[in-house]
Amino acid sequence: MSHALKHVTGLRCTVCGRVYGVEEAGYTCVDCGEAGTLDVEYDYAYINAHTARPALDGAPQRGMWRYRPLMPVDAGSPAPPLEVGGTPLYPAPRLAAELGLARLWVKDDGRNPTASLKDRASAIAVVKAQEQGARLITTASTGNAAAALAGLAASVAMPALIFVPETAPPAKIAQLLVYGAKVLLVQGTYDQAFDLCFAASQENGWYCRNTGINPYVGEGKKTAAYEVAEQLGWQPPDALVVSVGDGSIIGGQYKGFYDLLQLGWIEKMPRIIGVQAEGSAALYHAWRENINPAEMQPIDAHTIADSISAGLPRDRVKAMRAVRESGGAFVSVTDAEILGAIPALAQGVGVFAEPAAAAAYAGLRRAVDDGLVKAEDRVVVLATGNGLKDIASAMKSVGGGVTVAPNLDAVREAVATLLR
Ligand SMILES: *Cc1c(COP(=O)(O)O)cnc(C)c1O
Ligand SMILES: [Zn+2]
C-alpha cells in the first residue's frame, strides 16, 4: 500500500538527528536504541497550502480529529468512533486570586471517553495499527494508557493485550477488563511491564503502543495544545503547567505549540512547566544538574500519583526539549502537596482530578512560590485524568462524612456541628 502522508517529511531521531522515511521507520532509532525516540516531521508549507487557520475556525468536526490535517494518518483512514478531545478549558478566577495570578484556566482532560488524556494517544495508535494491518495491539501502562487503548480498541473491534503492574488502581484494571482486553497483571514495576510488553510484541509481530517507543502517540497528545490555543483565540498562555511521568504528554504539548508556531498560526510558545512527584523526579533532577537526558540512569520511583511514577522516563529526550526550548522549568512536589491539590482543584474550579492530574496544580503553587510564574502571566493547568480513577487516594485527601441515625433530632445535632 502506498502511503498517503503527503504532509509528513520523515521521522527524525531526537538523539542523533538521523531521518527515516515514513515507510522505513521502526519504533526507535536503530543507531541509538530506546533512547533514540523518533519525532514526526511535517511539511508546514504543504499543510498551510491545504489548510488555513480560518478554515479550521469554521470546521464542524468536534474533538481531536478537527486537526486531522496536522496529524500523521492517511487521508483515507477512518477515525475511531469514540469522541476524543474537545475538552473544556475552564476559567479559574478563584484559584487565580488565591495564587495572586491575573488569569488562570484549567483544561479538564478527564472528560475524555476513558477519563484521561491518554485517549488522544490511543486513538492515533489504533489508526496506525489498522493502517499497518496489525492483528493485535498491545501496551504496557501504569493504567491510563492501557484503559485508553482498551476502550479505543473495543470501539473498532481490534484485539488488545495489556501489561499493567498488578498494583495499578482497581478502577483502571476494571476498565481494561470491561472493555474486553486481555490483561496481564505483572508482578513488578511499570518499567518491567514495559520491557516485557515490547519484547513480546517483537516476538509476535503485534503493534506496540508503548509510550516513548511508539513515535505516533505524542502526535495524538499534541492535540490538547491545539485546543488550548484555539480556545484562547490563538493567543497561547504565557505558561502551561503539566505533570510528568514518562514525559510524553509534556513532549506532546511542546510539539503542538511548535507546529502552530511553524505554521504561523500563533506568535509565541508558552513556557512549559513540568511537574514531577518528589519520589519520581528523575527529569527534575537531570534538568537541575544539566544532565543529557539520553544519559539518564533509572531511579527507584515511589509516589501516590501512580500515573507519573516512572523510574526511567521513556520520553525523557522530548520532555527535556520541551522545557529547555520553551524557556520553562521542572518543579517537584511532595505526595502531601499532591493530595492537598485534589480538593483544592475540585472546590476551586469544580474539576475532580486523579493524583497525577492534581499534581499539576500542586506544581503551579510551587512555581508561583519559586517565582517561575509571575502575577501577570496567563496560565493554563492541564488536568490529565479524572478523580474517579483512584478513589482510595481521593479519600485520603479529605475527611469522612458524618454518620447519622435516621431521625430529625440526630440530623439537627449533626448539622449544628457540621455547619458551625
Ligand atoms: C500518563 C499520565 C500523566 C503523565 O504523562 P507522561 O506522558 O507519562 O509524562 C499524567 N497524568 C495522567 C492522569 C496520566 O495518565
Ligand atoms: Zn539516533
- Please give the distance, rounded to the nearest whole angstrom, from the Cα atom of residue 245 to the centre of ligand 1: 6
Regarding the beta carbon of 244 and ligand 1, being less than 6 Å apart is answered yes
pLDDT at 52 over 80: yes
pLDDT at 381 over 50: yes
CA distance 28 to 32: 8
Question: Could you give the 3-state DSSP secondary structure of residue 107?
Answer: strand
Regarding the beta carbon of 243 and ligand 1, being less than 6 Å apart is answered yes
Regarding the beta carbon of 356 and ligand 1, being less than 6 Å apart is answered yes
pLDDT at 3 over 70: no
- Please give the distance, rounded to the nearest whole angstrom, from the Cα atom of residue 26 to the centre of ligand 2: 12
Regarding the beta carbon of 66 and ligand 1, being less than 6 Å apart is answered no
The pLDDT tens digits of the residues spanning 254-278 come to 999 999 999 999 999 999 999 999 9
Residue of minimum CA distance from atom 13 in ligand 1: 385
- Please give the distance, rounded to the nearest whole angstrom, from the Cα atom of residue 8 to the centre of ligand 2: 19
- Please give the distance, rounded to the nearest whole angstrom, from the Cα atom of residue 413 to the centre of ligand 1: 44
- Please give the distance, rounded to the nearest whole angstrom, from the Cα atom of residue 24 to the centre of ligand 2: 14
Going by C-alpha positions, the residue among 14, 122, 101, 84 that lies closest to residue 374 is 101
Residue of minimum CA distance from atom 2 in ligand 1: 307
Q: Which three cell numbers stand for residue 149?
A: 487503548
C-beta atoms surrounding 136 within 10 Å: 16
Question: Hey, what amino acid is at 245?
Answer: G
CA distance 10 to 18: 10
CB 53 within 8 A of CB 21: no
Sequence ranges of the domains in the chain = 89-113+217-398
The pLDDT tens digits of the residues spanning 158-199 come to 999 999 999 988 998 999 999 999 999 999 988 899 999 999
Regarding the beta carbon of 283 and ligand 1, being less than 6 Å apart is answered no
Q: Which three cell numbers stand for residue 400?
A: 469522612
- The backbone region for 346, taken as left when phi is positive above 0, alpha when psi lies in -120 to 50, beta otherwise, is alpha
Regarding the beta carbon of 384 and ligand 1, being less than 6 Å apart is answered yes
pLDDT at 2 over 70: no
- Please give the distance, rounded to the nearest whole angstrom, from the Cα atom of residue 145 to the centre of ligand 1: 8
Angle, CA 158 vertex, CA 183 and CA 63 arms, to 5°: 105
Strands 207-208 and 182-186: what pairing?
unpaired
Regarding the beta carbon of 307 and ligand 1, being less than 6 Å apart is answered yes
DSSP letter string, 349-365? HS--B-HHHHHHHHHHH
Q: Please list the residues that pair with 378 across neighbouring strands.
A: 103
Regarding the beta carbon of 191 and ligand 1, being less than 6 Å apart is answered no
- Please give the distance, rounded to the nearest whole angstrom, from the Cα atom of residue 14 to the centre of ligand 2: 7
CA distance 79 to 152: 10
- Residue 77 to residues 5, 72, 218, 386, Cα–Cα distance (Å): 11, 11, 18, 30
Q: How confident is the model at residue 386 (pLDDT cuts 50, 70, 90)?
A: very high
Regarding the beta carbon of 246 and ligand 1, being less than 6 Å apart is answered yes
* Ligand whose nearest atom lies closest to the CA of 18: 2
Residue 242: burial class (beta carbons within 10 Å; 0-12, 13-18, 19+): buried
Regarding the beta carbon of 249 and ligand 1, being less than 6 Å apart is answered yes
Regarding the beta carbon of 248 and ligand 1, being less than 6 Å apart is answered yes
Q: What is the CA radius of gyration of the chain?
A: 21
Residue of minimum CA distance from atom 1 in ligand 1: 307
Regarding the beta carbon of 164 and ligand 1, being less than 6 Å apart is answered no
- Please give the distance, rounded to the nearest whole angstrom, from the Cα atom of residue 401 to the centre of ligand 1: 31
The pLDDT tens digits of the residues spanning 331-369 come to 999 999 999 999 999 999 999 999 999 999 999 999 999
Q: Which three cell numbers stand for residue 308?
A: 507519573
CA distance 111 to 293: 32
Tell me what the mean pLDDT of segment 384-399 comes to. 95
The residues whose Cβ lies within 5 A of ligand 2, an ion, are 13, 15-16, 18, 29, 31-32, 36
Tell me what the mean pLDDT of segment 297-304 comes to. 93
Quote the mean pLDDT of the chain: 95
- What is the end-to-end Cα distance of the chain in Å, rounded? 71
- Please give the distance, rounded to the nearest whole angstrom, from the Cα atom of residue 240 to the centre of ligand 1: 15
- Ligand 1 pocket check: which of 304, 308, 352, 361 to mutate, most ligand atoms within 8 Å of Cβ? 308
Domain 89-113+217-398, CATH: 3.40.50.1100
Backbone angles phi, psi at 338, to 5 degrees: -65, -45
Q: How confident is the model at residue 89 (pLDDT cuts 50, 70, 90)?
A: very high
- Which pLDDT does position 1 carry in this prediction? 40
